């Protein structure tokens, strides 16, 4: 979200990620692209999921969010863009 004079900058832009899924379709490993640590991290548990459908009147946005617990105890929120089939990390 930047305007023509480059004055307005978006905050909390989704960061692309590579996610592996388990047999049930839930995320099991994540690798963050814009991060110093490039190695995949195991997802220990999915604590919560929710779905957002928005802006159906112009360019539909459909996302499924996952709040996950990583190996080591860190908490993370990621989502899959169901239109483009791409994964992202984002603060809730």
Partner 1 sequence: MTVTPHLASDSAACCWIPLFALRSELARRPEIASLPVALVAPDTARPPRVWQVAPLARRAGVKPGMTVSQAIGLCPPLKLCEPDPVHYDEQFARLVAALVTVSPVVEPVELGRVFVGTDGLEGLYGSPEGIIEAIQMRSAECGMRNFSEGSFASPDSHLHSALRIPHSALRVGWGLGKFVSWVAATRAKPGEAVIVPVGGEAKFLASQRLAVLPLDPDTHRRLLQLGVKTLGALVALPEEAVVSQFGRAGRRLWRLAAGLVSEPVVGRVVPEPIVAALTFFTPVGERDLLAHALDKLVDRALGDPRRSGWRVQVVRVHAELEHGASWLVEATLKDPSATREHIAAPLKTQLERSPPAGAVERLVVEFTAFAPGTAELQLFARDAGAAARAGRRRALQSAAREIALRIRRPMLYHVIEVQPWSRLPERRYALIDYEP
Q: Is 59 in the site for partner 1 (CB under 8 A)?
A: no
Q: Position of tokens 């993370």? A: 76
- Indicate the DSSP class of residue 26: -
Cβ nearer to partner 1, comparing 3 with 37: 3
Residue 65, Cα to own-chain centre: how many angstroms? 7
x-marked contacts with partner 1 along 1-40 as a string, rule CB under 8 A: x-xxx-xxxxxxxx--------------------------
Choosing from 20, 22, 48, 54, the residue that interacts with partner 1 (CB under 8 A) is 54
Q: How far apart are CA 48 and CA 66, in angstroms?
A: 6
Closest CA to 29 of 71, 61, 62: 71
Residues contributing to the site for partner 1 (CB under 8 A): 1, 3-5, 7-14, 52, 54, 61, 90-92
């Amino acid at each position: 979200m930047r305007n023509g004079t480059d004055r307005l900058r978006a905050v909390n832009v989704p960061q692309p990620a590579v996610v592996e899924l388990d047999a049930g379709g839930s995320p099991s490993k994540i690798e963050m692209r814009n991060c110093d640590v490039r190695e995949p991290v195991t997802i220990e548990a999915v604590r919560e999921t929710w779905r957002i459908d928005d802006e159906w009147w112009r360019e539909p946005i459909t996302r499924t969010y996952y709040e996950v617990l990583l190996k080591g105890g860190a908490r993370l929120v990621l989502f899959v863009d169901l239109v483009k089939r791409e994964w992202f990390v984002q603060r809730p």
